[in-house]
A and B are shown apart, each in its own frame.
Chain A
């Protein structure tokens, strides 16, 4: 059985500016939870609070609790947290100095696994899970940055799942990709959720409706509504949610 996340009264700041206020939500295991909202509403900050990446920005801080296995991640070693909660970013960001193979193996190697055989196995498994193996298995030693944008993003997914996280955070993973690559990654999300808990931030409501089980609507740093995806999209409780999903404001 996998683990979900429980967010309790999460607040976040950049310097004096508060960007998140009193966010509470439960992220169920083996489910895809989407966070939608207009740009600047704090979606990215929210997801970056879930693996403690927010605090690495100078001047950034947060309050509240995020529970993983009932344990507050803010009381754990951040390195350990990030090992358990992986992340895929908005723009594909393979390590520029590494080959395809080394990119996928990076997390394992830098965490102390060096023998060739387990590495080979995990790299292949991860690339297969990321639906990239067939396309790259003949050129694993080529630089990761030589791939196309969509392939790079799937490489980053492979890199993230290679260390077998329990939760995968995806910060607008398709916003820099073409429609075909986007479709591939959405397909992939459905596959991955069998093994993982997924939180995805997106500015694309159709995407949220397509891929997620639960959706949260975020506006000006507050969680306006959080519900099962079909319910939220067909029968929102809050007027603001309705305005947003019907495109009545930006």
Chain B
């Protein structure tokens, strides 16, 4: 009887462990399926033209998304102009002087911003950039993406600057170097790798954003250089093609998605590999 009870407990333990394993396995199946389909479907349509040609009108076979790839890079660049100064310098404030009510408020707002749906940030960019300019533009899209970057960058900067030991700050102060130079020339460079990681992860995140671009950067079938004009982007192009009724465009959508995911995964995986052991130097 006693043995039986023990055996039952053992059996429950094994059963639950198996269930837990099953859960873990099921959660990665969609990832493998999505990556598999992307490769299978996308590989059929990715070719040199895809990277060098403009989109073809409906009915014509071929064409590419060269303008959308360049557009995405331009939008990321614009986003960095907005997001990096606020994120990095704001993060320095939080790490060095932020142990007060102002710091609490900024951290709180940054958390709220982080949880804000990206489409809401798109509406914000629409009201403050598109409405006054009276047209969709690359600037509006970059502005929206830049705001989405801020919480990630500010948090990464704060945490990594805080990781720089007090002894390093004191060594600088003890040399008779003013505090601001100690921070800028000694503390922040010590945290550089980590901050770059945070920035790259933020870039990987905004690179795939679609919703806030729909009514800010809008879209464009052509090359365009002016920042006050609508601009194409890879995610929006994928969306437009995916919901279209045309076979050719569906193929292009898969190709675009494959390129987009490859760009993002390569960025984030490389970031992790390159900066592995970044804290070793601080110990």
Complex Cα distance, B129 from A38, in Å, reads 65
Q: Would you call A79 an interface residue if the criterion is a C-beta within 8 Å of the partner chain's C-beta atoms?
A: yes
Select which of A82, A86, A93 is within 8 A of B165 by beta carbon.
Answer: A93
Q: Would you call A96 an interface residue if the criterion is a C-beta within 8 Å of the partner chain's C-beta atoms?
A: yes
Asked if A106 meets B186 with Cβ closer than 8 Å, knowing A58-B99, A91-B167, A96-B282, the reply is yes
Q: Encode contact with A along B155-171: 1 for CB under 8 Å, 0 otherwise.
A: 00000000011011011
- A79 B176 Cβ-Cβ under 8 A: yes
Selected interface stretch from B38-46, B73-81, B177-185: B177-185
**Chain A's nearest CB lies how many Å from the CB of B78?**
30
- B167 A83 Cβ-Cβ under 8 A: no
Interface size class of A (residues with CB under 8 A): 20 to 34
Q: Would you call B272 an interface residue if the criterion is a C-beta within 8 Å of the partner chain's C-beta atoms?
A: no
Select which of B170, B177, B192 is within 8 A of A89 by beta carbon.
Answer: B170
Complex Cα distance, B177 from A110, in Å, reads 6
Chain A residue at smallest Cβ distance from B282? A96
Q: Would you call A200 an interface residue if the criterion is a C-beta within 8 Å of the partner chain's C-beta atoms?
A: no
Complex Cα distance, B44 from A24, in Å, reads 84
- B residues near A89, Cβ cutoff 8 Å: 167, 170-171, 174
Selected interface stretch from A156-164, A190-198, A205-213, A216-224: A156-164
Complex Cα distance, B185 from A162, in Å, reads 18
Q: Would you call B175 an interface residue if the criterion is a C-beta within 8 Å of the partner chain's C-beta atoms?
A: yes
- B174 A160 Cβ-Cβ under 8 A: yes
Which residues of chain A have a CB within 8 Å of any CB of chain B? 51, 53, 56, 58, 79-84, 86-87, 89, 91, 93-98, 106-107, 110-111, 143, 145, 156, 159-160, 163, 169
Q: Would you call B172 an interface residue if the criterion is a C-beta within 8 Å of the partner chain's C-beta atoms?
A: yes
Can you offer 26 A-B residue contacts whose CB atoms are under 8 A? A53-B173, A53-B174, A56-B170, A56-B173, A79-B177, A80-B176, A81-B176, A82-B174, A84-B176, A87-B170, A89-B171, A89-B174, A93-B165, A93-B171, A95-B171, A95-B190, A96-B190, A96-B281, A96-B282, A106-B186, A107-B175, A110-B182, A111-B175, A145-B281, A159-B175, A160-B175
Closest 5 CB pairs of A and B: A83-B176, A107-B175, A87-B174, A97-B189, A93-B167
Complex Cα distance, B282 from A40, in Å, reads 27
- A107 B281 Cβ-Cβ under 8 A: no
Chain B residue at smallest Cβ distance from A56? B173
Complex Cα distance, B176 from A51, in Å, reads 9
- A residues near B190, Cβ cutoff 8 Å: 95-97
- B185 A53 Cβ-Cβ under 8 A: no
- A106 B175 Cβ-Cβ under 8 A: yes
**Chain A's nearest CB lies how many Å from the CB of B115?**
31
